[in-house]
Amino acid sequence: MGTLIGLMGGLGLWLMWTADRARVARSTGPGRLRRLLDRAGMAEVPTRSVVLTSVGLGVVVGVAVWSASTVGPMALLAGCAAAGAPAAVLSGRAARRQREFAEAWPDAVDHLASAVRAGLSLPEALMQLAERGPERLRPPFAQFGRDYGTTGRFSESLDRLKDRLSDPVGDRVVEALRIAREVGGGDLGRLLRSLSSFLREDLRTRGEIEARQSWTVGAARLAVAAPWLVLASMSFQRDVIARFATPTGSLLLLTGAVTCLLAYRLMLRLGRLPVEERILA
């Protein structure tokens, strides 16, 4: 039990150390966890809360598995997996949010083009998206309308809009609108229509590719989960699971965990589509 507590304590110290490094990195730019929270639409959540949740979850699960199996390596692996669960949930939420935004932007750009063609000013066209735009994009543009109505500063309101969206496509749209506003682009309507067409084509192509490669991700998850599900079912048999408490069994568990992790990461990397980064943030 003392060994398990020491291992869990070490895991907690390591996670807090990485949080301190992320806080130092934010002095020159947002850390990886901060960017993940922004992309997941949780900009108000501090990174420390995520780190503490990961540590607490890892300790609780590790102790629970230790109590059920009395196998230290198994408890350590279960605790590490549980500690990584919040980051995995955030990654999934960020990917889903970015996918929803990608589906909504073509319609939003079409609304902007129609509003500009109808004679509305650019700020008015943007504020109109809070009522007539795609449902997913209405809250950020509603806040943009409040910012612009309060300050009257178009550029600063656009900067805040970009921060709330935390979306690479949104960055491109916002910067195109900023340039059109500052230099007086007379072809704004044509630019928006061309951008809408490009976004629809990109969305259609990416959707076809994702449909074809989704089996790779599913196969990777199934291949990794299967042996650990078998091990979990064996944990109810004391005489069988006790064999993993020996040095040889512990080495087998750790080797299997490292192998599964490397194979899973390799399969995901081979089947991963390029992710658009925020180069205009």
Output the DSSP codes for 153-213: -HHHHHHHHHHHH--HHHHHHHHHHHHHHHHT-TTHHHHHHHHHHHHHHHHHHHHHHHHHH
Both tokens of 188, joined, read 């704004």
> Does the pLDDT of residue 131 top 60, yes or no?
yes
Domains of the chain, residue spans: 1-83, 98-203
Beta carbons within 10 angstroms of residue 43's beta carbon: 12
Report pLDDT for 274: 65
In tens, the pLDDT along 76-111 reads 888 888 898 899 899 889 888 888 888 898 999 888
Both tokens of 98, joined, read 């970015």
Q: Mean pLDDT score of the chain, rounded to an integer?
A: 79
| From 78-92, 148-162, 264-278, the region with the lowest mean pLDDT | 264-278
How far, in Å, CA of 38 to CA of 166, rounded? 6
Contact partners, residue 81, CB within 8 Å, separation at least 6: 61
Contact partners, residue 251, CB within 8 Å, separation at least 6: none
What is the rounded average pLDDT of the residues 45-53?
Answer: 90
Long-range contacts made by residues 203-212, C-beta under 8 angstroms, separation at least 24? Answer: 203/102, 203/103, 203/106, 206/102, 206/273, 209/273, 210/273
Query: Which residue has better confidence, 36 or 17?
Result: 36
What is the rounded average pLDDT of the residues 136-146?
Answer: 91
Both tokens of 144, joined, read 């943009």
Contact partners, residue 46, CB within 8 Å, separation at least 6: none
